[in-house]
Amino acid sequence: MLVVSAEVSKALSADQPVVALESTLISHGLPFPKNLELALQIENDIRAGGCIPATIAVLNGQIHVGLSTDQIEFLATGKDILKLNASDVALCASQKKTGATTVAGTMLCAHLAGIRFFATGGIGGVHRGAEQSFDISQDLTAFRQYPVAVVTAGAKSLLDLPKTLEVLETYGVPVIGYQTQEFPSFWSRSSGLPLTWRIDTPQEMALMARTHWQSGQASGLVIANPIPQEFEIPASDIETALQTALADASAAGLRGKPVTPYLLGRLRALLPATASSNIELIRHNARTGAAIAQAYYKG
């Protein structure tokens, strides 16, 4: 069921740094050809950082860790590709189907392959109104289950960020600010939510990750890496646009799963700069992930 590419397998066997990448970004994130261009660009960013990229997906019932350019292009152009949380991966494989992995699904597959580091855009979390809907992302459960360090620009402010941090704390998942003392909110560098732990160098971060796992902890880590300042969108602008999008969603009678993609679409329409900010923060996370993975395997 698990197919690890020759390049990734060789690196893991030689104890060389590998950084995992999700595939939902390719099949459900951006339109073609931007999705293909970005997928290949972040792989190049990781290679430039001295690491091997391992984009992950389920293809025809097999978990592939490390994709070829042809396979990435298939995901970028394919139709009816499933979106796989951790709970969906085995089901998709058993049915010989194809799907792109979310943060949670990628963490599961990275763990199966023995990969410690993963760079993504933003993590899922507790949705606004979860006290009624109980809508909480599987990403948070995955952090409790899989010992993978995830470099992320925080979580989108359309989520309930205070509750998201509370759940991570309950699950015993460290949230570490990378060159910041505040939890970033994806497009914005700040959220107003302070973090206990701040780390400023890849070497310090690598040491913290190693010590965390050597101490017997089985959880992952959230490495909160703010979007570069020149690409951020002020939190007040995001919140204003989000309130408009929420009102539109309510007027349309949307509930449950359709709400999030609708809100993201409306935010893109109301704030076109979010599209370019998305790309820059993902690339920034890839570069940061490569630097930390390098330091981890050199140490």
Active-site positions read: 22, 156
Number of residues in the chain: 299
Q: Is 96 left (phi over 0), alpha (psi -120 to 50) or beta?
A: left
Distances (CA, A) of 157 to 99, 128, 185, 194, 282: 27, 10, 6, 15, 17
CB atoms within 10 A of CB 208: 18
Residue 23, SS3? coil
d(CA 9, CA 3): 9
- 33 prior amide bond cis, ω within 30: yes
Q: How far is it, in rounded angstroms, from Cα 91 to Cα 10?
A: 28
- By the 10 Å C-beta count (0-12 exposed, 13-18 middle, 19+ buried), 250 is classed as exposed
Report the SS3 class of residue 27.
helix
**Do residues 136 and 104 lie in contact, with contact meaning Cβ atoms separated by under 8 Å?**
no
- Tokens 């792989």 -> residue: 43
DSSP 3-state assignment of 217?
Answer: coil
Closest-CA residue to 86 (of 35, 137, 12, 125) = 137
10 Å CB burial of residue 211 (0-12, 13-18, 19+) is: exposed
